[in-house]
Amino acid sequence: MARHKSQGIVLHFKEIWPLLPAALYLLSFLFVVLIYLIGLSFSAPTSDAGAFPTLQTIAKVVSMPQFRSALVNTTVFVIIGTPLELLVGIVLSLILYRHFIGRNFVRGILVLPLAVPALVTAILLFILFDYPGGHINHLLMGKYPLFPAVLSNPINWRGSEFFALSVSMIGKLWRDMPISMLIILAGLLSIDPELFDAAKTMGGGWATQFRHVVLPLIVPSISAVLLLRSIEMWKEFIFPFVLAGQTDLLGTFIESLYNDWGYSNEAAVVALVLVGCIIVTTIVLLGITELLRRLVFEGGHRGG
């Protein structure tokens, strides 16, 4: 159904109008959300209602120590969590790449965490990492056979900032592991197996193949994982919400500002900061990706 230029824009509309409801719905949503976020952020909630624009709310949020610690926590969360997800994804996809009996079954098992609602995963970890008597504490204290005693006293996982965020991270990694695995597996499967054979006949062992063939060719998948997962890390809400009561990430900080304190303007400011962080990360990662691609792909003088 190739379209002809001479038939012009009228025919276009005739062809594409079914797209419009969905497009309008999504666009107006994006538009409203951004306008509202900016509007809320640049106005003050107090007596002189309608004072817009004002930097009063923003100044207030920036001066909040909880905001700073949430920002730092989230940044650390993203910087540590994203490479971990990538690593887990690469390892699991390499395991699944080989053909073996029951491969589909194993893949089905490994995709399961994705099917478990995030809230359920969070509650599961809440139970397992209970203090003083959860499975994990008992395991680390050597109460089960085969596993050595590492601890003498149970750890209060939710009590300390470090452990609370670590447990949240474990939950996040566990649940989202299939996504990075599947993306990288898709990248691996798109490589022509003859390329590996070619590398073998030209003198490449396992390491050479991985370095010179696999890694360069899954660069697009790797960038996809880095980009998508880092954004997901910034967005993270449910795990810290359930597991890290005392310690805030940006997401949980927004929630407590809005629901606990009723500060909608301040919540909007933090939300805007979160969106800003994501945009900056995206731009930086796209830059890095482009750099990587140029490093890996030679020549390409025809714009390839």
Partner 1 sequence: MDRRNVPLGPAYRLVWIVGIIGAIFLVVAPLFLLFKYSVSDIGSINTGGAPIPLWPHEPTFRNFLYLFSDGQFYSVLLNSLIIATMTVCFSMLIGIPASYVLARYEVPGRKFVLIGLISVRLFPDIASVIPVAELFIRFNAHNTYWGVIMAHSLLALPYVIFIGTSAFEPIPKDLEQQAIVMGANRFQVFSKVLVPLAIPGLIAAAIYTFLLSWDEFIFAYFLLGLGKISTLTLYLKQKLAFAPPQNLLAAISVCLSFPVILFSLLLQRYMTAGVTSGAVK
Partner 2 sequence: MAEVILKDIRKSFGENKVIESLSLSIGSGEFVTLLGPSGCGKTTLLRMIAGLEPIDHGELFIGGKKYNSISPQHRPIAMVFQSYALFPHLSVRSNILFGMKIKKVPASTMEEKLKWVLPMLRLEGLEKRLPKELSGGQRQRVALARALVLDPEVLLLDEPLSNLDAALREAAMEELKRVHHQVGKTIVYVTHNQVEAMSMSERIVLLNDGRLEQFDRPRVVYDSPSSIFTAQFIGSPAMNMLNGQVVMKGEAVGVDTSLGFLTLDRERESKARALLSREVVAGVRPQNISFVEHSISRRYSDTCLELTVDLVESLGDRSLIIARGGKGTILRFLITREADIVPNQKVAVFVDGRKIHLFDTQSQTNLLP
Q: Does 184 bind partner 2 (CB under 8 A)?
A: no
CB of 228 to partner 1, least distance (A): 6
Question: Among 38, 195, 275, 278, which residue interacts with partner 2 (rule: CB under 8 A)?
Answer: 195
Q: Do the Cβ atoms of 37 and 271 come closer than 8 Å? A: yes
Footprint of partner 1 on residues 110-169 (CB under 8 A)? 110-120, 123-128, 130, 133-135, 138, 143-144
> By 3-state DSSP, what share of the chain in percent is helix, strand and coil, each rounded to 5?
75, 0, 25
**What is the three-class DSSP state of 39?**
helix
Question: Among 219, 231, 285, 292, which residue interacts with partner 1 (rule: CB under 8 A)?
Answer: 231
Question: Among 51, 278, 285, 292, which residue interacts with partner 1 (rule: CB under 8 A)?
Answer: 278
Question: Among 5, 14, 99, 302, which residue interacts with partner 2 (rule: CB under 8 A)?
Answer: 302
Instruction: Report the alpha-carbon distance of residue 194 to residue 202 in Å, rounded.
Output: 12
Residue position matching structure tokens 């949240």: 168
Question: Among 45, 83, 154, 204, which residue interacts with partner 2 (rule: CB under 8 A)?
Answer: 204
Alpha helices in 190-263 (DSSP H): 193-201, 206-208, 215-217, 219-235, 238-243, 250-255
Q: Which amino acid does the sequence have at 157?
A: W
Instruction: Report the alpha-carbon distance of residue 276 to residue 282 in Å, rounded.
Output: 10
Tokens of residue 226, six digits: 């880095």
Question: Among 63, 150, 203, 246, which residue interacts with partner 2 (rule: CB under 8 A)?
Answer: 203
Give me the 222-261 binding string for partner 2, x by CB under 8 A, dash otherwise: ----------------------------------------
**Which residues bind to partner 2, rule: CB under 8 A?**
192, 194-195, 197-205, 208, 212-213, 216-217, 296-302, 304
